Chains A and B, each alone.
Chain A
């Protein structure tokens, strides 16, 4: 393997408390090392450049049944954005729902090296992994949807936490999943008959338990299994006016399960759950209340789901929410229910600057990012492609770093929304260290990916080098320069190899697929129970449900010792 040395860059490595120091980073055999013999190493001159760990995205819809239906649904999205084949790369298309190869290349060119696919219907996990095998350049993982799985509902209804945990462990291995994903708990089961739940205390039809019991139950399960990530929650009532109260209820309902300062719940794309008001006309920001709660409680982490004004595609497992969006827009609508497990929906959507609601949504995301004080607790995402495609991250970075950039956009948004926005009162501007935290270090920590998100000795040599000199450029005053710098790296290094250089892919590589392998004390008991009940619940056979490890191009299991 090659030895590399990245010389003279301004290094931002918040996990190791390095904040813009000029230093060299040595790489050997795919890892960060103390030093390498300079003569034998390939040298990368990074003077005047920013050096960060490779980007980590905690929540981005890039693969699987839902994403692929989105691709199918949107030829008009592809016609205007194509990538031609080169001698070393595959062709592709797509602005908001790019094809798999294009997804990998674009993330890599932006300096991202690890991305998490947050929405995997267990029954269709094989599909997700097939697509991940065709998504080059990045390490990845997927979260199976477990909040409305009949086994979850039945065991939690009966108060059988340990049995529930054992079954969750089984499905984590069967589907090669990484974290417990909960979407509109209870609401998806209700959507099977076209209904929904209205609050975390509204009982799930036919199952006699509440969303609160599901959230608390799976939170306990998560602890019993010692999962690396917390439960990853898309709240009830997402996208509805007044739902900030539901988001607060969701965070509060697990408060007494926390111990120490360790987070136990992640509220994803929080912008979509931070609305005050009683309808769209009276919509207001609930960011202040949510930020206040998060600032006073250690058990919660958030990601943004930041809106950018553009034409994109919404896709979630939240079937009833997507149906609501279809009713609102009369746009084309895909619904996909998955037996005994979950639902899904897709609606194309355009966020318009001049729309009051959309402008408020835009404002809420930034308010959250700026009002939550600790950058380790809130992460930059667009819930790609729901609030915007991931290629808009550089623009969001420029908003976070520059009040001037925010004000410039404010001038062009809906007037009423501008008057209501809390942004003019916020002075805060992120520095580069904080940007490194919300785009990689914090996310890696939340995911407990110990080799990722930092440049300490022994970390994976995933490095992003951006061509911007922090001594010469004031990000506050030069948002355009910031945006341009973060759009394409000067170098992206993956596993110790230069894989992208000057906005071009230099070397196509396959990434790893992480999955969690909880070690149970008696795994056969669960397997027997599953086998017995399988045919009643699903329309495929037990033997054909589990995905063999050989199915993953580069399988990377993470073993954890469970307490059951």
Chain B
């Protein structure tokens, strides 16, 4: 059976490129090396409901020809005064390039899912910069790995194995074995505790008390992993130490670390629910490492403080670079959200929320970002690609989106596509079409075409190109 190897997985920002896919008669029958989410994508992608374009007629979506759907889309965009074009992070750079050209042509606002994900991180990078690297640098060298406000076990399942604590590098080795023995230890401890609880007639399955004691392994001169979050997720099990922070208190905790790194005293007993003594010890571990890294997720970007949390985290890393080498990286979610930022930046200077309504790129998140535009009810048409804002935007924003003419380009049937006026079902990029995507650390990778898409599904780039041509044709016609 033909095996396609070294396939890049089009799911999350880890962009694992070692996937093997078994194909039989243009159908994927097996997937190797992928995580559960990746495997689900390769094996279940093909259950699309419709292959033909749909247009809403008399309130119902009905199948139409490709050219009719293109004409209808072009008319919607050409007639609109202030359309928004949203999504982009689950498609190829090639499609994004055409999308930007189309947005410029029709004077649209083009925004990607960064706006509701790591938007604050980017705002903060613009304020203070960022000390970062590619993931291999961390695999080879990082001896202190901190995941803060993120859950790699669920959101980036192979991240730890491929790039950090469980990967082997030139100067640092995998801590996989230590983890296994620790797991065994933890398990017997749990049994012991239950036994004691039974003897003492306490609730046998009571949840353990939160402990702030730092295990001795944290002070050894070898690779270690720390998880900082508001709850003990599965990711915490893989870590040497789990630090539980009170919700919305990350900023305080970060600032406390900054003070400690600067050798200042904290004149309180605890910060964000953590004893200062514990913080002091962790600060010492940070200063004493050879290369440290903080990966952060939406536990920092979405909670109170938003971009100020990230300012503080990046500033902590800046401070630590006076003492040792320290880096920081956002855990980007969608497989090409980084690409959406990258392409938008090289064409327009700005990574998201770009407003072309004045004929040149303008950028002011809070004003030109899609949630704000929708909540202010300013837009009069929308194009959504490879994204599902009706499911993920706050109700008020989603309601204002579906109230206006809406074009959706998405191979899946989603709450958003069900609400649309025109629906295109494109080829799945990375499975049925090729392209380029950027890993969370800005490393570009090729997306492969493994099987043929059903007719008449075209790539997203091609659909956009045809809409752009049609818009130009409409505009060149004398009124």
Contacts and interface: CB of A to CB of B under 8 A. Distances in A.
Contacts of A538: 136
A235 B275 CA distance: 49
A180 B358 CA distance: 43
Given A72-B126, A92-B361, A333-B318, A134 B347 contact: yes
B105 to A, nearest CB: 8
Contacts of B348: 91-93, 99
Contacts of A68: 342, 345-346
Contacts of B259: none
A82 B361 contact: yes
B125 interface: yes
A331 B126 CA distance: 11
Nearest to A128: B444
A72 B134 CA distance: 17
A539 B128 contact: no
Nearest to B445: A544
Given A338-B133, A339-B134, 8 more contacts: A75-B363, A99-B349, A127-B442, A130-B343, A134-B346, A333-B131, A539-B136, A539-B162
A338 B348 CA distance: 25
Contacts of A335: 129-133, 321, 327
B241 interface: no
A90 B349 contact: no
A339 B445 contact: no
Contact of A340 (B130, B140, B347, B444): B140
A504 interface: no
Contacts, number: 180
B97 A134 contact: yes
Given A72-B351, A193-B141, A543-B6, A84 B126 contact: no
A82 B104 CA distance: 14
Interface in A323-379: 323, 326-327, 331-340, 346-347
Contacts of B446: 126, 544
Nearest to A346: B129
A536 B321 CA distance: 27
Contacts of A134: 97, 346-347
A192 B141 contact: yes
B137 A337 contact: yes
Given A130-B93, A131-B346, A544 B8 contact: yes
Interface in A506-564: 536-544
Contacts of A337: 132-134, 137, 327
Contact of B350 (A75, A326, A331, A336): A75
Contacts of A447: none
A336 B133 contact: yes
Interface of B: 5-6, 8, 17-18, 93, 97, 101, 104, 122, 125-137, 139-141, 162-163, 170-171, 290-291, 318, 321-322, 324-325, 327, 341-343, 345-351, 356, 358-361, 363, 436, 438, 442-446
A124 B443 contact: yes
Contacts of B97: 134
23 contacts: A65-B442, A71-B349, A72-B351, A73-B129, A82-B360, A90-B347, A91-B361, A92-B347, A92-B349, A99-B349, A99-B361, A124-B442, A127-B444, A134-B347, A194-B321, A326-B318, A332-B126, A335-B130, A339-B137, A537-B136, A541-B18, A542-B6, A543-B6
A327 B346 CA distance: 28
A194 B143 CA distance: 14
A99 B346 contact: yes
Nearest to B363: A75
Contacts of B350: 75, 78, 93
A72 B133 contact: no
Binding site secondary structure of chain A? mixed
Interface residues of A, number: 61
A130 to B, nearest CB: 7
B135 A72 contact: no
Interface of A: 63, 65, 67-68, 71-75, 78, 82-85, 90-94, 97-101, 123-124, 126-127, 130-131, 134, 150, 191-194, 206, 323, 326-327, 331-340, 346-347, 536-544
A72 B341 contact: yes
A199 to B, nearest CB: 22
Contacts of B345: 68, 71-72, 99
A536 B129 CA distance: 31
Contacts of B347: 90, 92, 99-101, 134
B104 A541 contact: no
Contacts of B128: 332-333
Counting from the closest, the 3 A-B pairs by CB-CB distance are A339-B136, A194-B325, A337-B133
B104 A91 contact: yes
A338 B139 CA distance: 12
A539 B134 CA distance: 9
A333 B140 CA distance: 23
Nearest to B105: A85
A346 B128 CA distance: 11
A85 B363 CA distance: 16
A126 B171 CA distance: 27
A232 B139 CA distance: 30
A268 to B, nearest CB: 24
A525 to B, nearest CB: 22
Given A126-B444, A193-B141, A334-B131, A544 B17 contact: yes
A84 B325 CA distance: 43
Nearest to B322: A327
A401 B30 CA distance: 70
Contacts of B133: 335-339
